[in-house]
Structure 1
Amino acid sequence: MVKWTVHPASRLGNKMGEYAVLYALAKLNHHQAYVLPQMQSELGKIFKISLPVISQELADSINWRPYRLHDWMSEEYLNITGQYVKLFGTPCSWTFYHHIREEIRREFTFHDELKKEANSYLEKLKGSKVNVTFIGVHVRRGDYVKVMPKLRKGVVADKNYLQKAMDYFRGKYDNPLFVLTSNGMDWCKENVNNSLGDVHFVGDGQERSPAHDFALLAHCNHTIMTIGTFGYWAAYLVGGETIYLTNFTLPDSSYLKIFKYEAAFLPEWIGIPADLSPLLNQSQLN
């Protein structure tokens, strides 16, 4: 029997991308996909994923054909040969699976307890307000604060970007309520304008146990993301309006050889260009 799997790497958002791409490519190539125990143990605790698990003992005994993917769908992926194929890479692009979007979103159905907790938390935040529109906000900082300028000639989201994104929703809805999660919460509390009292800083930012933060974001109505796969997947599951940071690298960044903006973000999402002046000023100083 033909077996396909994927090498699980990195954290939650990347693993979701790996799972979705395995699911979609195996289906396109008419093969059965299996997940390794490590992926099942992480994703299976959060979502009602349906792909069967292959035991580690059996997986170790198979002579897999390694097949490395880049970050967007290519025609050659429609005809991948080999009886035992293990996909490598961490692609996060709708171009692989958007044609079966509802299936992918169904694969990432939350377990009932997580769903109940998220909805209960949002109800508590709403209080007595009526016609509340929940906007999930994910601010990716952590290692990216150094990785982006040093390795990718890029930036992370600044306070002006977040102000513009929030003001868009404030201008569109009567009672927007921003549910903000981050792995840099201290920075957020110092830099995000909450003079209107409509921003709630929630979650603990713990990257080792991100399920609760992710569930909160995914149960909002719309999304503001910055960069990274965690925010991308929250937006993709929500399915509402999404504002994202775009053009966050200099044009000569080597990162653009492996990353395409048009493949990373859905066409209907709203991109706000990053302020690259800190990078430009730094290059002038050098």
Structure 2
Amino acid sequence: MSDNSNSTESYRYALLDYSRWSQSRLMNKKVPVFLISLIALVILYVIWFYPTKSLFPNVLDTKIYFSSLRQSVLESINPNLTMHDKAQGPPTCFLFIRSADGALGNRMFLFASAYGLARLHQCQLYVAPWILIDLRSVFRIEIEKTKVQLTKDDRLVVNRTDYFSRYSSCVFYPDLLRVPFNKTFQRYELNGFYQAYGYFDKYRDEINFLFQFNQGAIVRNVPMVEQLLKAVWNISLDLRNYTKDTVPHRYLKSMLANPGPSFTPVTWVGIHIRRGDFLTFFKIDTSVEYLVWSMNYYRRKYVNCRFLIASDDKKYVQTHLGQYKDVFVTPSGFFSGEDMAALALCEHTIVTAGTYGWWAAYLAGGDVVHDLNYPVPFQNCPREHYFPPWFVFPHNSSSLMWKPASPT
């Protein structure tokens, strides 16, 4: 009996041990599953019940609200964005710009092309201090947060002759994009304008990052946006936790694109009308017929359009387009940076002529309608080099067109 009793007792303990072992195996599986499920539930709870702003303040502040009717895509650039993944290894070449003719748009082209080439080839970049100061009067130009190493060492360019220089107005030189970089171009100066988007189009996000408007260009746009909101929706501008001295450009743009779910969305179209010296030097006078045609193009394509016009001749604008109820004009006291910031608040653009309007359209994003009269023939500017493929061209209808001088 004792043997049977011991055997029964041993069998009972064996069953008990197996039961505990099985439970422990199950627990080993259940505990991780339970913990993962609990974490997932907590994350879902936080996302659902807590405002996004408290978790990701920089994301909400720069978000663009889309209308379901819109086909355009607005670039959403975080004003506090930092570029990552610095260029690998030391720079093996050197690019520099020391001179720049023209005004803001020309310098933007030259700087963007130099940046694009330096970025592609991991070159060190030198930009003359006065050019940087001029650009930073409008833009943030936080190049130290990008993958390009900017040098301020004047000794690299002063009294040096061991460099290669080539002039370009808007001709695209494909050999500059070949990898590896031609040894002849190891020290290369960009001379001229380099108005060819192909030099920097690959890095469009970074160009938009560099050309973020500074607060000096934004601050006077705040009351203008307030007036536009009043005129269209009869609402005030809610700056949230911002002030007019800290509000990001993208926040103002989001308010114009969609001020709230209870309001009818508006499609904003910027128009830049260049006159001034273009009437005499280039002999270009974009006709009112072209402008009206372009405005009707957008009215047919998008719902509820409003037009914001910047020009160096605002009396001309008021005389010829001031009768339209869907037209607004930037304040007469705006300087060039403030006008460009205003145009970039829009989703689409109409351009007459000049690099200033080109860049306003580029920074705004969306569709671009451009007059075919520019560039003029004597600029020797191939259209396919100057214009990106998303630019649209209506029939040329300018009242004053460029003609070669009569032989004497």
TM bin, normalised by shorter chain, reads 0.7 to 0.9
Q: What residue number does 1:211 align with? A: 337
Q: What residue number does 1:179 align with? A: 308
Q: How many residues align?
A: 273
Larger RCO (CA under 8 A, 6+ residues apart) = 1
* 2:329 aligns with one of 188, 194, 201: 201
Alignment of 1:118 onto 2:221 = yes
How do 1:11-160 residues align onto structure 2 when only pairs under 5 Å count? Answer: 11-51=103-143, 52=150, 54=152, 59-63=157-161, 64-78=163-177, 79-80=181-182, 81-112=184-215, 114-115=217-218, 117-118=220-221, 121-127=224-230, 128-129=232-233, 130=263, 131-149=265-283, 155-160=284-289
* 1:8 aligns with one of 97, 100, 110: 100
Gaps of 5+ in 1: 150-154
Provide TM-score, normalisation by structure 1: 0.83
Tell me the distance in 1 between the aligned counterparts of 2:340 and 2:314.
15
* 1:272 aligns with one of 370, 394, 398: 394
Using the TM superposition, give the Cα deviation of residue 191 of structure 1 relative to its aligned residue in structure 2, in angstroms.
Answer: 1.9
* 1:224 aligns with one of 346, 350, 357: 350
Using the TM superposition, give the Cα deviation of residue 126 of structure 1 relative to its aligned residue in structure 2, in angstroms.
Answer: 2.8
Secondary structure in structure 1 of the residue aligned to 2:332: coil
Shifted more, 272-281 versus 19-28: the winner is: 272-281
**Matched letter for residue 272 of structure 2:** H
Using the TM superposition, give the Cα deviation of residue 107 of structure 1 relative to its aligned residue in structure 2, in angstroms.
Answer: 1.3
Alignment of 1:242 onto 2:368 = yes
Gaps of 5+ in 2: 1-90, 144-149, 234-262
Secondary structure in structure 2 of the residue aligned to 1:227: coil
Hey, which bits of structure 1, 4+ residues long, moved more than 6 A? Answer: 280-284
CA displacement 1:30-67 (0-9 Å, x = unmatched) = 31112111111111122121343626676434445433
Secondary structure in structure 2 of the residue aligned to 1:38: helix
**Matched letter for residue 217 of structure 1:** L
* 1:190 aligns with one of 290, 305, 319: 319
CA displacement 1:220-244 (0-9 Å, x = unmatched) = 1111111100010011111111111
Tell me the distance in 1 between the aligned counterparts of 2:193 and 2:403.
32
Secondary structure in structure 2 of the residue aligned to 1:143: helix
Tell me the distance in 1 between the aligned counterparts of 2:309 and 2:315.
12
- Are the aligned partners of 2:375 and 2:381 in contact in 1 as well (CA < 8 Å)? no
Change in 2 beyond 3 A, CA 1:24/1:37: same
Q: What residue number does 1:152 align with? A: none
Tell me the distance in 2 between the aligned counterparts of 1:227 and 1:4.
29
Using the TM superposition, give the Cα deviation of residue 143 of structure 1 relative to its aligned residue in structure 2, in angstroms.
Answer: 0.5
Query: Whose strand proportion is higher, 1 or 2?
Result: 1
Using the TM superposition, give the Cα deviation of residue 136 of structure 1 relative to its aligned residue in structure 2, in angstroms.
Answer: 0.9
Using the TM superposition, give the Cα deviation of residue 265 of structure 1 relative to its aligned residue in structure 2, in angstroms.
Answer: 1.8
Secondary structure in structure 2 of the residue aligned to 1:16: helix
Using the TM superposition, give the Cα deviation of residue 29 of structure 1 relative to its aligned residue in structure 2, in angstroms.
Answer: 3.1
**Matched letter for residue 331 of structure 2:** G
Secondary structure in structure 2 of the residue aligned to 1:181: strand
Using the TM superposition, give the Cα deviation of residue 279 of structure 1 relative to its aligned residue in structure 2, in angstroms.
Answer: 4.9
- Are the aligned partners of 1:118 and 1:216 in contact in 2 as well (CA < 8 Å)? yes
Using the TM superposition, give the Cα deviation of residue 211 of structure 1 relative to its aligned residue in structure 2, in angstroms.
Answer: 0.8
Secondary structure in structure 2 of the residue aligned to 1:5: strand
Change in 2 beyond 3 A, CA 1:161/1:53: farther
Using the TM superposition, give the Cα deviation of residue 274 of structure 1 relative to its aligned residue in structure 2, in angstroms.
Answer: 1.9
CA displacement 1:95-150 (0-9 Å, x = unmatched) = 2211111111111111245345435522421325241221111001110001223x
CA displacement 1:235-275 (0-9 Å, x = unmatched) = 1111111111114578xx433xx212222222222111322
Using the TM superposition, give the Cα deviation of residue 283 of structure 1 relative to its aligned residue in structure 2, in angstroms.
Answer: 9.8
Change in 2 beyond 3 A, CA 1:283/1:163: farther
- Are the aligned partners of 1:37 and 1:56 in contact in 2 as well (CA < 8 Å)? no
Change in 2 beyond 3 A, CA 1:205/1:244: farther
- Are the aligned partners of 2:368 and 2:392 in contact in 1 as well (CA < 8 Å)? yes
Change in 2 beyond 3 A, CA 1:82/1:106: same
Using the TM superposition, give the Cα deviation of residue 277 of structure 1 relative to its aligned residue in structure 2, in angstroms.
Answer: 6.6
Secondary structure in structure 2 of the residue aligned to 1:243: strand
**Matched letter for residue 274 of structure 1:** N
